[in-house]
Amino acid sequence: MISNLVKIKKVFSVFNLLMLLVICSCSTSPKSTGDVYNLRAYAEKGLEAANKETVRGNYKNAHSLLIEYKRMAILSDDLSLITRVCLSMGNVLYSLGEIEEAFGEWDKAALEAQKSNNSELLSASKIFRAKGSLLSGRTGAQAVLDEVNRESVNIKKDALLVSFSWQVKGLALRALGSYAEAENALKQSLAIHEKKKTLENASYDWYTIASIRSLAGNTSGALEALDAAIVLDRRIENSWGLAASYRAMGDVYRKAGREKEALEAYARARGIYTALRNDDEIMEIEKKMRN
């Protein structure tokens, strides 16, 4: 009997302790008056991760991540965060071939930026849309260049948005055949990415510089730029970037009439795409190797 009483007392003691914990947790003020900030901070980190996936060519994964982080941005009612998620979502959708949906996201970004009176993000939204218009052929290069020049003056605080403006300016100048100016614009972007140590973006800068040099007939310069991109992509293990650079290297060698080296570069790209299990890119590379 005494033994049973002891057991009962122990059970009640545990129960009382549990109740005390529940009462304390309910009776005090909320654990964090900044719970929404925790949500926002999580979404900010997630957006950065999704952007990194985008630069690495992992568009489907980036899209899945952005769906969740867009939901968090909406839950926190952070207009700046919603704007930036929409900008990134537009980029991913464009890369996935969902062109109309991409423009829809960029338009949403502009509306959110306008609601918050954020002139920097509003101008950035217009430049994102301008890049899509340039690449899709909806708008001429000169009109895009004019818009970038007009809107970029409002972008001063966010270094990565400043670099993005330089990138789009470089792409427009490339399309206009102003190759020296285009390379200078990309080098402005590159300097920012190197300083910020955003090496995926720096690799893309070198990749784009290579395309500019190739169009200008500077074969050795194009190959040097691709070598620089490959060094960065190896360092950060960016397999998609490596494959893209080797494929571009094959194109440059072929344009210069160096077929043996072109096939070697294509084979290297095919090997990486095979490891990535990217059947579409494998087919494209094999077409190049047969031509």
Whether 59 is covered by a domain: the verdict is yes
Residue 79 lies in a domain: yes
Q: Tell me how far apart the alpha carbons of residues 91 and 98 are, in angstroms, rounded to a whole number.
A: 10
Domain-located, residue 115? yes
**CA neighbours closer than 13 Å in the CB half-sphere of residue 286:** 9
Q: Which two tokens stand for residue 239?
A: 């397999």
Name the band, by pLDDT with cuts 50, 70 and 90, for residue 37. low
pLDDT tens for each residue of 104-126: 999 999 999 999 999 999 999 99
Residue 266 domain flag: no
The domain tally of the chain equals: 1
- Domain interval for residue 112: 37-135
Whether 77 is in a domain gets the answer: yes
CATH number of the CATH domain containing 128: 1.25.40.10
| Burial grade of 291 (CB within 10 A; 0-12, 13-18, 19 or more) | exposed
Q: Could you tell me if residue 150 is inside a domain? A: no
pLDDT in tens, 134-182: 999 999 999 999 999 999 999 999 999 999 999 999 999 999 999 999 9
Asked whether residue 199 is domain-assigned, the answer is: no
